[in-house]
Amino acid sequence: MDFSVPKFIEMETKIVGPLTWRQFAFVGTAGVLIFFLYFILKQRFILFLVIALILGVASIGSAFLKVGGRPLPTVLINFLFYNASSKIYTWNKKSTEPRLIYKKEKIKKVEIKKEPAALLKITKQSRLKELSNQIELKTK
C-alpha cells in the first residue's frame, strides 16, 4: 500500500493573493499607518516621507525577509530574549526521589532435619579429636 508524502510541509498557505496571512498583516498594517500619517503630517511632508520610508522598509522586511530559514520577527524576538536573559548557566541537580521497585518473592520453607548428632554440643579440642567424634557419630 503506497502513501503519498507531502513535500512542502513548512510552506504557509496563500490567503490574500500571493501573500500569506502574516505577510498581509505586516504590509496591510504598515499601509494603514502610512495612510493616517499622510493626513496627520500634511504640512511636514519631508517628515512624513522619512517615517513612511522607515515604516515601509521595516514592514516589507518583516514580511518577506528570512534569516537562516526563519522569518525576521522570530529572529528579532529570539535576539531580544537572548539579550535579556542571564548568560551564566549553572547546573542544579534536581532532588528527585529514586523509584523503588518492589518484587514479591515467595519464601520457600526449608525443613531442617534434626539429627541426634546435631543436637550434641561438642567443643573443639583438637582436629584429631573432632575427626574421631565424626567417625563415631557417622556424621560425614
Model confidence band, residue 133 (pLDDT cutoffs 50, 70, 90): confident
Residue 117 lies in a domain: no
* pLDDT above 80: residue 14: yes
Residue 33 lies in a domain: yes
Model confidence band, residue 140 (pLDDT cutoffs 50, 70, 90): low
Residue 115 lies in a domain: no
Residue 2 lies in a domain: no
- What residues form DSSP beta bridges with 67? 70
User: What was the pLDDT predicted at 122?
Assistant: 55
How much of the chain is in helix, strand and coil states, percent to nearest 5? 50, 5, 45
Structural domain that includes position 55: 14-84
Number of domains in the chain: 1
* pLDDT above 80: residue 4: yes
* pLDDT above 60: residue 117: no
Residues 65-107: tens digit of each pLDDT: 999 989 999 999 999 999 998 888 778 777 777 777 777 777 7
User: What was the pLDDT predicted at 77?
Assistant: 95
Residue 131 lies in a domain: no
Residue 52 lies in a domain: yes
CB 22 within 8 A of CB 71: yes
Residue 44 lies in a domain: yes
User: What was the pLDDT predicted at 73?
Assistant: 92
Maximal C-alpha separation, the chain = 131
pTM of the model: 0.53
* pLDDT above 70: residue 114: no
E strands present in 56-117: 66-67, 70-71
Residues 29-70: tens digit of each pLDDT: 999 999 999 999 989 999 999 999 999 999 999 999 999 989
Gap between the Cα atoms of 89 and 46, Å rounded: 49
Residue 74 lies in a domain: yes
